[in-house]
Amino acid sequence: AQTVTQSQPEMSVQEAETVTLSCTYDTSESNYYLFWYKQPPSRQMILVIRQEAYKQQNATENRFSVNFQKAAKSFSLKISDSQLGDTAMYFCAFMRSSGTYKYIFGTGTRLKVLA
């Protein structure tokens, strides 16, 4: 069974600074998808970024980028130029690329951006 681990329950960062959120996972699959979802205080879940395991290039979306280390089974999220609106809970998630397409989530990291 796949598992996703987020070892940082809470983090804080100064506005305009850079912060990295960690995620590790365990799987025996060779191809799969990884995601970072953001949950602001409104509770709405929003996709931040996704990565397909067979693609070696790290995904980027504006100020958000990932460091995907397949051998280490690590998938960290870097937020550059942090903004107050980035304050949220961030969840890392795993999905297989074949069979049943269900999402396995980590326990989340609560990020607070300080003014």
Partner 1 sequence: DAGITQSPRYKITETGRQVTLMCHQTWSHSYMFWYRQDLGHGLRLIYYSAAADITDKGEVPDGYVVSRSKTENFPLTLESATRSQTSVYFCASSEGDRLNTEAFFGQGTRLTVV
Q: Name the one range near partner 1 by CB under 8 A: 17-25, 57-65, 71-79, 95-103.
A: 95-103
Q: Closest approach of Cβ 101 to partner 1, in Å?
A: 5
Q: From the list 10, 84, 107, 114, which residue makes contact with partner 1 (rule: CB under 8 A)?
A: 107
Task: Select from 82, 44, 42, 34 the least CA-distant residue to 62.
Answer: 82
Using the structure block, give the residue that is written with the tokens 């509770």. Answer: 43
**Phi and psi for 84 in degrees, rounded to 5?**
-55, -35
Using the structure block, give the residue that is written with the tokens 């590790």. Answer: 24
Any contact of residue 57 with partner 1 (CB under 8 A)?
no
CA distances from 16 to 47, 67, 68 (A): 22, 20, 23
Q: From the list 14, 102, 112, 114, which residue makes contact with partner 1 (rule: CB under 8 A)?
A: 102
DSSP-derived 3-state class of residue 75? strand
Q: Closest approach of Cβ 20 to partner 1, in Å?
A: 19
Tokens of 94: 């795993």
Question: Residue 73's CB: how many other CB atoms inside 10 A?
Answer: 17
Q: Name the one range near partner 1 by CB under 8 A: 16-24, 62-70, 72-80, 106-114.
A: 106-114
Residues 21-50 that bind partner 1 (CB under 8 A): 33, 35, 43-45, 47, 50
Which residues bind to partner 1, rule: CB under 8 A? 6, 9, 33, 35, 43-45, 47, 50, 91, 93, 95, 97-98, 100-108
